[in-house]
Structure 1
Amino acid sequence: MSSSAMEEEAPDLLCQLENVQGLVVALCAVRWKRHQDALVELSEHGIVLIVDECCCLQAKVYLKRELFVRYEYNAQGRPRFGVSLGLFVDCLNTFSVPGQSSSIQIQYPGPDMQVLLTSLDSPDASICAEIRTRIPEAVAWNYNFEPAGTSPLTFTVRSAALKEAIEDLEWPGSSIQIILQPDPPSVILRGEGHGDLQIDLTYYVNTDLLAAFQCDLGVSFKYKYKFLRATTSNLPSSPIKESRGSKVTVGRGGMLKVQHLISVSKLSTSHPYVDSIGYKPPGRIAYVEFFVKPEESED
């Protein structure tokens, strides 16, 4: 067979991942309801998975090619396909063994335009799964996130603290108001409804909680609670990189961007040499972004 014919038969993407459970955790972070369709886009730089809700909430999971131990990209342009997020996660879970790093191979497309998953852990058995894809619908919401002004309006907060604060704001039963003010430099989360609840995060007072803050002009916007909660509700506890936290940025018109870093590294094993020098292999990180539109002002 000629080399040109072999190239024509090569799939658009063939990649291998060391820790399938880490991928499951990253994808579950953007799974805020049972039935969700996702758009998957492939490129030479990696894989992007996008989910959208009512043109008000959008989430993206970035899986850069450096995250994979093998990444062979043969497509022209950027292939896109639709898939059920729940089905994709459930299939990946079948390859996951609790407490162990399970390696898989991902191929697209298969003979019928499927996503093909193959376990790489057992030399004596072949475990495979096929996920049917669909023609993707265009993502309805083009978020076009832009800075609110010449200086960014942003803060970095410990991920677990942000998740806890948003969950605490559920009981007032209303929208959540986010206020950034430069003097004193602080972030205020406020809910009003059946009761009033306000959570203040003051910069310089507790740098372990609010690690970074930048705001030259005070702003205030309201967001629907269910959309704001979706940005943190499925964050894992252990794989969150607490040292770097979650970054929240307010863009033009109140568009909110929430960014998380989730580790998908292979589970470490004890080794005398590794333990003696304190060396740890570089982590592989999945980047997760949420975009939330504010409620329209009554004005």
Structure 2
Amino acid sequence: MSSSAVEPEAADLVCQLENVQGMVDSLSAVRWKRHQDAVVELSEHGIVLILEESNCLQAKVYLRKELFAQYDYNAEERPRFGVSLGLFVDCLSTFTVPGRASAIEIRYPGPDMQLLLKSLDSSDACIYAEIRTIIPDTVSWDYNFEPAGSVPLSFTVKSAALKEAIDDLEWPGSSIRINLKPAPPSVSFRGEGHGDLQIDLMYNVNSDLLLDFNCNHPVSHRYKYKFLRATTSNLPSSVMKENRGSKLTIGRGGMLKVQHLVPVGRAPFPNPHVIDSASHQQQPGRIAYIEFFVKPEEEEDDNRND
């Protein structure tokens, strides 16, 4: 690789991450099929990666600047570029080392508008990689997520239980109906395909699976199974091990928002090759935010309870 790829001239962003595995986990959570193109947006607040499918499913990964040991943003306008998600994740994975945190530097753009990666774990040897980017040919659709009323229609369920419920409801080409009822407080997932299967979660102060519940009137919406499954199909093991909760909110018109929190672990010991900024030292929680937006299926009776 030429030296110009190592030291590009003007960079819109130069950032350093102490533990690349956290970024791999975060991006893998929205990797629901083999070939996906993502749009990456850079700003003074952090990095956002956006994916869409069939104008019915949208996913966003928020990597706030506080997650990085160094975050130098120099662009006048917010840069936006496209990249193959699979290629990006696979490339990041080559920098990981089993059993310990691996630090990297991310720089954009390179001399030919590449995304440049560089390992920071050793002063004696260094690994470089460059990923060719593309100009996005589409504009992200506006999901217009708005509350369905004065009281939010939402519930929080253990992530592992949510994934298991959705996996159990699979029927080829099927749909899943989500029902919320205030009395008794409950959530049900009903698979509708070649047969019917329903999973009920009841809410009370001693609930083990349903951690939070907000609903003041019955609501029911149906979602394509393949889109709903995409929201949990690749949740990282770190989320399962920490027994985290995922929050689901139903907005106006039945738009479903699914939120996950993915830990982005800090290195157990300071890396001498990483610049540790003051904001990084003061950051108490190191979490990447994952959001999915799923449009409901249209129904003839247009059952809208919002």
Q: TM-score with structure 1 length normalisation? A: 0.90
- RMSD value, Cα: 1.8
Equivalent residue number for residue 298 of structure 1? 300
CA contact (8 A) 2:35 2:85 kept: yes
What is the DSSP-based 3-state SS (H/G/I as helix, E as strand, rest coil) of the residue aligned with 1:16? Answer: strand
The runs of 5 or more residues in structure 2 that have no matched partner are: 1-7, 270-282, 302-306
Residue 90 of structure 1 and its aligned partner are, at CA, apart by: 0.9
Distance 1:140 1:44 in 2: 20
What is the DSSP-based 3-state SS (H/G/I as helix, E as strand, rest coil) of the residue aligned with 2:112? Answer: coil
Letter in 2 for 1:204: N
Q: Specify whether residues 142 and 285 from structure 1 end up closer, same or farther in structure 2 by C-alpha distance, changes over 3 A only.
A: same
Equivalent residue number for residue 13 of structure 1? 13
Equivalent residue number for residue 251 of structure 1? 251
Equivalent residue number for residue 27 of structure 1? 27
Equivalent residue number for residue 286 of structure 2? 284
Letter in 1 for 2:296: P
CA contact (8 A) 1:255 1:293 kept: yes
What is the DSSP-based 3-state SS (H/G/I as helix, E as strand, rest coil) of the residue aligned with 1:238? Answer: helix
Distance 1:40 1:156 in 2: 28
Letter in 2 for 1:76: E
Counterpart check, 1:39 vs 2:39: yes
Residue 27 of structure 1 and its aligned partner are, at CA, apart by: 0.2
Counterpart check, 1:262 vs 2:262: yes
CA contact (8 A) 2:171 2:192 kept: no
Q: TM-score with structure 2 length normalisation? A: 0.88
Q: Specify whether residues 89 and 74 from structure 1 end up closer, same or farther in structure 2 by C-alpha distance, changes over 3 A only.
A: same
Distance 1:219 1:128 in 2: 52
The runs of 5 or more residues in structure 1 that have no matched partner are: 1-7, 270-280
Residue 217 of structure 1 and its aligned partner are, at CA, apart by: 1.3
The C-alpha deviation readout for 1:201-225, integer Å capped at 9, x for no partner, is 1110642211110001110000000
Distance 1:235 1:141 in 2: 24
The C-alpha deviation readout for 1:76-123, integer Å capped at 9, x for no partner, is 121100001011111101101111100000000011110000000011
Distance 1:213 1:241 in 2: 23
Equivalent residue number for residue 144 of structure 1? 144
**How do 1:224-235 and structure 2 match up within 5 A?**
224-235=224-235
Letter in 2 for 1:132: R
Residue 230 of structure 1 and its aligned partner are, at CA, apart by: 0.3
**How do 1:44-83 and structure 2 match up within 5 A?**
44-83=44-83
Letter in 1 for 2:229: R
**How do 1:181-220 and structure 2 match up within 5 A?**
181-204=181-204, 206-220=206-220
Segments of 4+ in structure 1 off by > 3 A? Answer: 239-244
**How do 1:83-98 and structure 2 match up within 5 A?**
83-98=83-98
CA contact (8 A) 1:190 1:199 kept: yes
Residue 268 of structure 1 and its aligned partner are, at CA, apart by: 3.9
What is the DSSP-based 3-state SS (H/G/I as helix, E as strand, rest coil) of the residue aligned with 2:238? Answer: coil
- Size of the aligned set, in residue pairs, is 281
Distance 1:46 1:224 in 2: 32
CA contact (8 A) 1:104 1:120 kept: yes
Residue 194 of structure 1 and its aligned partner are, at CA, apart by: 2.5
CA contact (8 A) 2:18 2:267 kept: no
CA contact (8 A) 1:240 1:263 kept: no
The C-alpha deviation readout for 1:268-290, integer Å capped at 9, x for no partner, is 47xxxxxxxxxxx9441100000
